[in-house]
Structure 1
Amino acid sequence: MVRPSPLSIAAGLAGGVLNVAVVLALYARGGYPTLESVAGIAVPAFALGFLALFVSAHTRLFAPAIGFLAVLAGTASVELTTPHPEWGTLDGYVIVDGPTHVASYANTWYVWLSLVLVAGLLEFGIRRGYGLGGERLRNLPTVPLSRATLAWFVGGGSSLVGAATVLLVLRAGIRPPVASVAVFAVTAAVVGVPLAALLGRGIVSPAVLFAVLVPYFLTVEVFVATDSPVHILLFGPYAIVLAVAWALEAGIRSRLRGWEGGRFADEEPV
C-alpha cells in the first residue's frame, strides 16, 4: 500500500475545511436552527471534502475533486439566489416554509461521495485504457485489470452508490421500508453495468448514458425529497438499456474495427 504524500493529505484537509466553512456559513446565513449538533453537521461535511480532494491528489484523477467542487458551488449558488426559508414551531416541532438546499446537501453527503468516487473510476478507465494522460496517474493499477481488481472496482463502486441510495430513500421515508432492498438492487445494477463495460472491455456508451441520467435522478431525490421511490426503481429498466448499449457498441466496434477489448483485454488497441 502506497503511503499518502503530505501534499495529498494537505489537499484533503483543505477540501474538508472548505466544505465545513461553506456549509456552516450557509446555515448561519439562512438562520437554520441547530436541529443537529454542530459536530453532526461538520464531521460529515469534512469527510466529504477531505476524501474527494485527497483521492484526486493521491491518484491525479480530476473527477472526484471537480465533482465535489461542482456540487458544493451549485448548492451555494442555489442557496444564495433563493429566498430564505421561514422557520417556526408547531406543538413543539420545528417547521419550515421554503427550500433548505444546504441542509439537503449536507445531510446527504454519502450520495455525493459515492458519485464522485464512481466518476473517478470511470475517469480512470478512460484515461488508463485509452492513453489519455494515463501515464500521469499515480497509485492506480494498470490495465488490463486482474479479475479480482475488476470485481473489487465494479462491486465496490456499485455497492457504494447502492447503499447511499438506500440511505437516501430511507431518509425520505420510503414505504414500505423493505422496498429499499429493491432500490439497492436496481441502483447497484445501473452502476455496475457501465463500470464493468468500461473497465472490463473498454466500452464507453453505458458510461455516457449513466452520466446523463443517474446523477440527475439522485439529485432530484436529494433536493425534492419525494416519498415515492418510483423514479429510482426506473434504474432497473435503465440498467437493461445500458446493457443493450454495451452489446451494440461491442458488436459495431468488433465488426467495423476488429475491437476485442484493446488494452482492457491485453490486446493492441485498435
Structure 2
Amino acid sequence: MNTIDLSYWDLGFAALLGIALAALFRGMRLGISGSLLVAGARMMIQLTLVGYVLRFLFEEGRPWLVGIMAFVMLAVASREILARQKRKLSGWRSWRLGASTLFVSSFAIAVYGLLVVVRPEPWYAPQYVIPILGMIISNTMNAISLGMDRLTDAIYQNRNVIEQRLALGQSAQEAIGGYAKDCIRSGMTPVINSMATAGIVSLPGMMTGQILAGASPVEAVEYQIVIWFMIAGGCGFGMTVAIKLLKGQLFDERQRLRLERLR
C-alpha cells in the first residue's frame, strides 16, 4: 500500500476549515475566533518543529538524544499538571509530586512495554520509544491532573466534615478515603470508556496513523491493543501514587489537616 505525500497546498486547504470556522464564530460574536486561529497557528508550528526534531532523532538514533527528549517531555507534562490545579500545593511541591509520579508510572510502564512486549532492536530505538512514551505521558498527565484537582477541591470543600472525622479518631486515610476513591474513578472513566468503544465508535489515533502510513490493519490493531493497556496502566498506577503522595502533603505526622499548604 502506497502512502500519499501531502503538499503545502494540501495543508493550506485543510487550514481553510479552521479559518472558515473562525469567521463563523466571529459572526456569532462568540469571542473565541482569535483563540482558534492562534491555536491553529501554534499547532502547525509546533508539529512542524517536532517533525524535524523527530526526523533528526530517528536518523541519529543515539540513546542520550532519546533521553534528552524524554526528559523534556516529562518536564513539560509536569509543568502542565501544575498549571491545571485550581488549588496548588505551596512552593514547588505540586511540580515535584507530578514529576515524580509521572516518572515512576509512565517510565516504568514504557520500559516494561519496550523490554517485555515490543522488544525493538535496540531497545531505545527512538521510533518506538518517543511515540510510546508520549502517548503514555500525555494520558497519565491528564489523569493525574484531574485526580489531584478533584481531590484538593473535595478536601477543601468538605474540610469541616474531614476535621470532625479526625476528631472522632479516624485516620487521614479513613477521613478522605471516599473522596480519594471518587477521584480515581473520575480519572479512569475516560480511559475505560475509550477502551470499551475502541474499534466500534472510533479508531484510535495510533491505529489510524499506522493504517494511513501503509501498515497492515491487523498489525496496527495489535500495536493499539498494547498501547491501550500501557495507557491504562500508566493512568491507574500514576493516579494511585499521586493521590497517596498528595495525602501525605495535606496531612502531617499527627494526622492533622494542613490546608495552609494549599494556595
Same fold by TM-score, threshold 0.5 exceeded?
Answer: no
TM-score normalised by the chain length of structure 2: 0.30
Structure richer in helix, relative to its length: 2
Is the radius of gyration larger for structure 1 or structure 2?
2
Q: Which has the higher contact order (CA 8 A, sep 6+)?
A: 2
